[in-house]
Amino acid sequence: MMNIRFKSTKSRYILNAAAVLALYGVLYAMIENGILNRYAAGLLMTAGYNIILAVSLNLAAGFLGQLPLGHAGFMSVGAYASALFTLGLEMDGAVEFPLALIIGGLVAAVFGVLIGLPALRLSGDYLAIITLGFGEIIRVVILNLSFTGGAFGLQGMKRYSNFTNIFIFAVITLFVISTLIKSRHGRAILAIREDEIAAEASGIPTTYYKTFAFAVSAFFAGVAGGLYAHHLCILDPSTFGFMKSVEILVMVVLGGMGSLIGSVVAAFGLTLLPELLREFAQYRIIVYSLLLVLVMIFKPSGLFGRYDFSLGKTVDDLFIKLRAPNKKGGA
């Protein structure tokens, strides 16, 4: 059993890479040929950075098992940092933009550590409330600083974000977080979620890994912020309030805390759904909040639970079924 797995690992990577390229090719062709109009392409891009936000929050919420309520704060820090970077420099976009995103991510990660170190000494509800507090403080501070443009926000960023780079960063986020989960670092994070005392007793430095997970989570939120800033080309501090944090949380909870595919599907769906129901725009948040309550009461594990999709495994299973159609569930 173990042998088959080791053999197919490499082929699975190739399979996944091919599938990602194919998906990109199809979507790109559809945009280029006008099958998806500008509006639809814009939605796809919004879905892209929402996926990054949801997947990164899932690391802290689903895998680490904490409830951070200030994810929008990290996003705003990344957005402002990368926007100020590109506004302040006159470089070629191909150099400037990736750098700006990484800087946005790093600044957000630094904030993640600064907030995580004190907040993670507490657990559960206290952590939720303290991250909420920090999120609000970040917002108030951005609102009152002069170099962030105060209440007017920032504008004049170049429209660097496009379908291709948002797609690339969404794939990178998914790749990094899914590989992280399947490593000793990821197992340490999962162990903390399961039982902190047992994790410590097994030799896991829990504070270190909590802070680490928080920083990685914040990093990608910052990158998403950078993509957002160079997509809308205008930053308004009021968009990064508690509501935005909750919106991301709804995606994670609906998809399933601890399921990456769940976050992707939920982020995608919850980006498109309100647009399909534009006439009911005013009910959007009502629907969101109802969803949150109903999911918690009737299916607290979300749509996907902790299930994680593996293309390789699905294909393998399919082959096995095709080869031996009569032997169902054989050991």
316 is a contact residue toward other proteins (CB under 8 A): no
199 is a contact residue toward other proteins (CB under 8 A): yes
HEC letters along the chain: CHHHHHHHHHHHHHHHHHHHHHHHHHHHHHHHCCCCCHHHHHHHHHHHHHHHHHHHHHHHHHHCCCCCCCHHHHHHHHHHHHHHHHHHCCCCHHHHHHHHHHHHHHHHHHHHHHHHHHHCCCCHHHHHHHHHHHHHHHHHHHHHCCCCCHHHCEECCCCCCCHHHHHHHHHHHHHHHHHHHCCHHHHHHHHHHHCHHHHHHCCCCHHHHHHHHHHHHHHHHHHHHHHHHHHHCEECHHHHCHHHHHHHHHHHHHHCCCCHHHHHHHHHHHHHHHHHCHHHHHHHHHHHHHHHHHHHHHCCCCCCCCCCCCHHHHHHHHHHHHHCCCCCCCC
Q: Are 142 and 80 in contact (CB under 8 A)?
A: yes
Q: Are 145 and 152 in contact (CB under 8 A)?
A: no
Smallest distance, other proteins to C-beta of residue 157, A = 26
Residue range at the interface with other proteins (CB under 8 A); choices 46-54, 171-179, 228-236, 311-319: 171-179
18 is a contact residue toward other proteins (CB under 8 A): no
Smallest distance, other proteins to C-beta of residue 325, A = 25
Nearest CB to other proteins, comparing residues 132 and 157: 132
293 is a contact residue toward other proteins (CB under 8 A): yes
174 is a contact residue toward other proteins (CB under 8 A): no
Sign of CA dihedral 93, 80, 218, 117: positive
| Alpha-carbon span 38 to 78, nearest angstrom | 26
179 is a contact residue toward other proteins (CB under 8 A): yes
Chosen residue from 17, 18, 89, 286 binding other proteins by CB under 8 A: 286
Nearest CB to other proteins, comparing residues 31 and 105: 105
Nearest CB to other proteins, comparing residues 86 and 245: 245
34 is a contact residue toward other proteins (CB under 8 A): no
254 is a contact residue toward other proteins (CB under 8 A): no
314 is a contact residue toward other proteins (CB under 8 A): no
Nearest CB to other proteins, comparing residues 27 and 110: 110
37 is a contact residue toward other proteins (CB under 8 A): no
Smallest distance, other proteins to C-beta of residue 34, A = 37
331 is a contact residue toward other proteins (CB under 8 A): no
Q: Which two tokens stand for residue 229?
A: 């800033």
Q: Which of residues 110-139 bind other proteins (CB under 8 A)?
A: 118, 121-122, 124-126, 128-130, 132-134, 136-137
Nearest CB to other proteins, comparing residues 44 and 116: 116
Q: Which residues bind other proteins (CB under 8 A)?
A: 2, 6, 13, 61, 65, 67, 69, 118, 121-122, 124-126, 128-130, 132-134, 136-137, 140-141, 143-144, 175-176, 179-180, 183-185, 187-188, 190-191, 194-195, 197-207, 212, 242-243, 246, 249, 253, 257, 282-283, 285-286, 288-293, 296-297, 300, 306
